[in-house]
Structure 1
Amino acid sequence: MDARNSSDPTLHVFQQDGEWHWGITVPRPTGNGMKVVAYSYEGFGSEEDARDDGQRALREGEWRASWGRQSEPSHTGV
């Protein structure tokens, strides 16, 4: 049995078009893949800055606002 709860968020930090971004995913309830529930709309100048802001979003629960909705993921402004 998977030890992760279906609501456990995971932070991802990645580089795109020369800027750093973060995204938060949760496992899909069906157990098939991940669902993006929040991400940084604007980019950061460094990986560290993106990670720090993504960790802040996790702590403050920003990802919960869009989790469970069937619409687009939240566009968390930076």
Structure 2
Amino acid sequence: MGKVDTSSKVVALPISISGPAEPAWVSIRDAAERKRLSVKTIRRYISAGYIHAERVGPKLIRVSVASLDALGTPLQYRGGAS
């Protein structure tokens, strides 16, 4: 019979050290907490089209985290009036 290789090889697998992945969709309450706004304001922003949301069931609504992150405009300092 032939010789069988009984040595085992160790394979290193990449490990994610960045922590758990951020969800792509959150509830309206979670969206309000993330942005420190009221649930009512989040609902208004959804109605106005400022935030993207989708209805998942007859009552369940999920808000896009990407649209929450894009909400608002960063301000740039242009210097004071002299």
Larger radius of gyration between Structure 1 and Structure 2: 2
Comparing both structures, which one devotes a greater share of its residues to helix? Answer: 2
Structure 1-normalised TM-score? Answer: 0.28
Comparing both structures, which one devotes a greater share of its residues to strand? Answer: 1
